[in-house]
Amino acid sequence: MSFTPNTLVQKNIYQASQYFQLNRHYLGLSGTLGQHTGKKTGTSVEFQEFRPYQAGDDIRHIDWAGYARNKQLNLRIYREEISPHIDIIVDNSTSMAINDGRKEALTRELSGFFLLSNHTDQGNTRLLLTGNHVHPQAQLTDLHFKDKDNIFFHSPHYCLPYIRHQGLCIIISDFLTTHNMLAGLRQIAARATQVVIIMLLGPWEAQPQTGNYTLHDAETSQQRPLLLDSLQCQQYLQRLHNIQQQIKNITLQTGNLFIPVIADQDLLHILKQDFYPTNIITHTL
């Protein structure tokens, strides 16, 4: 991805890319094809370590020669090969463009940053937009946030064919849905070697305040008055916590990464505060 920064969003992306880039060592994306290794265990030719055999392990990986010597069952663990490509999935529904902090702008900026920061394998980075349909091979200019639905949440099987095997998959969404998205996230985790889930919320979405509001339904465009009291705020925050905990549990179980983000700062500040501590990005050399 190359462009002359002629809009504020593009300027913010370009500025951030001068300071940070994807940490290719952390993601296992250094080297050339055939040398890319992921953080998960797999069956590639690169031996990593031994560990004690556990019930349910694949017996094909037992170190039988070692067992003959010391009568201890150990498993040979290998590092999984990873293809040098990145799929960036971005929620293109109207909920990502609500007037709440810098939510819409930051969605665009993070998408562009990950496209631009993949310097050495630009041709293998792909932007996929999910809304009413899946839009593969998209450009940043295709982000319009007008779709009233997100197919990723209720029909993830339509999205899976567009996600390439054994690569890095970055997902950007607010994940505020009534659909059960856990099965879809598990399927993606099984397909990609490394998954980074970015939950992007506006400041009010992350911490609503009591008061009188006009509720604008981003999916139906309907409006109605809303009196939000402390009990309703507590109930909402509990549901939000449950969603975050479910996503966090999946990423922990599958060896992936969950990054919650509040869109209340500029891109460079967000990268320093929320992304750099996770080691997914590093300083630009």
Q: Which segment of 26-40, 67-81, 153-167, 228-242 scores lowest on mean pLDDT?
A: 26-40
Which tops the pLDDT comparison, 82 or 8? 8
pLDDT at 135 over 70: yes
pLDDT at 32 over 90: no
pLDDT in tens, 187-226: 999 888 889 999 999 999 999 999 988 877 666 677 888 8
Contact by Cβ (8 Å): 173, 150? yes
Average pLDDT of the residues in 143-171: 90
Average pLDDT of the residues in 111-117: 90
What distance in Å separates the CA atoms of residue 155 and residue 145, rounded to the nearest whole number?
19
Q: Which segment of 40-44, 108-112, 210-214, 257-261 scores lowest on mean pLDDT?
A: 40-44
What distance in Å separates the CA atoms of residue 83 and residue 50, rounded to the nearest whole number?
25
Q: How confident is the model at residue 35 (pLDDT cuts 50, 70, 90)?
A: very low
Task: Find how far residue 74's CA is from the centre of its chain.
Answer: 34
pLDDT of residue 44: 45
pLDDT in tens, 170-191: 999 999 998 888 888 999 998 8
Q: Where are the domains of the chain?
A: 8-30+84-283, 38-81
pLDDT of residue 202: 97
What distance in Å separates the CA atoms of residue 173 and residue 198, rounded to the nearest whole number?
7
pLDDT of residue 6: 59
CB atoms within 10 A of CB 134: 20
Which tops the pLDDT comparison, 120 or 21? 21
What distance in Å separates the CA atoms of residue 122 and residue 120, rounded to the nearest whole number?
6
Q: Which segment of 26-30, 51-55, 264-268, 278-282 scores lowest on mean pLDDT?
A: 26-30
19: three-class secondary structure by DSSP: helix
pLDDT in tens, 38-59: 555 444 445 567 778 877 677 8
CATH topology of domain 8-30+84-283: Rossmann fold (3.40.50)
